[in-house]
Amino acid sequence: MSNSIFALEASGVDVAYHGNPVLRDLNVQVRRGEIYALLGGNGAGKSTTLNTLLGFARPDAGSVRVCGIDVAADVLGARAQLAYVPENVALYEHLDARENIEYFLRLANTASTDDQIADALRAVRLDESAWKRRLGGYSKGMRQKVAIALAVARAVPVLLLDEPTSGLDPQATSEFNALLQTMRANGAAIFMVTHDLLGAAEVADRIGFLDRGHIGHESAASGADRFDVRDLYQRYAGAREAA
């Protein structure tokens, strides 16, 4: 452990696939109690960034730390601090919500009581009538809630999300945003990658633009108007043209 103040930190990260650079000198820091949105067009390297934070993609240069733990030195220790919600949440379709959480907690060697699981499902506001239904019949928004309930039950400080609002209807999107804000208030560090500029502007504290493999520009929310969406849009369009 280092005494880094950041829950998530990528410093000077280069990642290439078969000699093609995808990330070039990527620098990102996320604090606890902060929501960071990384924006970029298709193929910009957003999922690669998440894979690098998770230790699935190995940087050729630079380093990644989760709660001060160097991912290259202790990948399991780093992963124990985070929850990852992929674009399409993969859970057991034939198990219900409670059974899924119980099963994945057991895989993570975490003991849990029925009450703890119920608290987690309540925290993500999954409708109680759905708790005992198989996930096979769940919508994308409901699956996400189960995945986030698992993060709540594990009490991990860092949450990574890949395109969390793509395919959600407006109602599910606003519920999802409210849930992220609650988790932020409880001290989570939240890092999401998305191509949804308006969604990011609504919920994030900081927005970074992935441009030719690194963060070309960062904007922070400030004041009553939060972000200047027109300014963000121009930067986003610029980054997409350059990518």
Ligand X SMILES: Nc1ncnc2c1ncn2[C@@H]1O[C@H](COP(=O)(O)OP(=O)(O)O)[C@@H](O)[C@H]1O
- The continuous run of DSSP H or E covering 37 comes out as strand 34-39
Amino acid identity at 26:
L
CB-CB contact of 97 with 129 (8 Å): no
C-beta closer to ligand X: residue 22 or 180: 22
Q: Which stretch binds ligand X (CB under 6 A): 26-34, 44-52, 119-127, 196-204?
A: 44-52
Shortest spacing between CB 132 and ligand X, in angstroms: 35
Name the closest residue to Mg ion (Cβ): 47
Within positions 38 to 57, which residues make up the interface with Mg ion, using CB under 5 A? Answer: 46-47
What does DSSP assign to residue 63? E
Q: Identify the DSSP state of 195.
A: S
DSSP string, 121-163: HHHTT--GGGTTSBGGG--HHHHHHHHHHHHHHHT-SEEEEES
Q: Residue 48 or residue 165: which is nearer to ligand X going by CB?
A: 48
Q: Which two tokens stand for residue 191?
A: 């890092």
Place of tokens 């030719």: 212
From residue 45 to residue 64, the character string flagging contacts with ligand X as x (rule: CB under 6 A) and all else as - is xxxx----------------
Q: Which of residues 22-41 bind ligand X (CB under 6 A)?
A: 22, 40
Q: Which is nearer to ligand X, 102 or 162 (CB)?
A: 162
List, in sequence order, every beta strand (DSSP E) within 73-223. Answer: 82-85, 158-162, 189-194, 206-211, 214-220
Q: Which is nearer to Mg ion, 47 or 144 (CB)?
A: 47
Residue count, binding to ligand X (CB under 6 A): 10
Helix (H, G, I), strand (E, B) or coil at 8: strand
The interface partner of residue 62, options being ligand X, Mg ion, none and the CB cut-off 5 to 8 Å by kind, is none
Contact between 213 and ligand X per CB under 6 A:
no
Tell me the CA distances in angstroms from 141 to 87, 138, 202, one per residue in order.
Answer: 11, 8, 18
Decide whether 50 or 101 has the Cβ nearer to Mg ion: 50
Given Mg ion, ligand X, none, residue 136, with its beta carbon under 5 to 8 Å by kind, binds none
Closest approach, Cβ 46 to ligand X, in A, equals 3
Residue with smaller CB distance to ligand X, 17 or 92: 17
Tell me the C-alpha to C-alpha distance, in Å, between residue 6 and each of 9, 11, 154, 198.
6, 12, 20, 26
Q: How far is the CB of 138 from Mg ion (least distance, A)?
A: 22
Is residue 214 at the binding interface for ligand X, with CB under 6 A as the rule?
A: no
Q: Which residues bind Mg ion (CB under 5 A)?
A: 46-47
Residues contributing to the site for ligand X (CB under 6 A):
17, 22, 40, 42-48
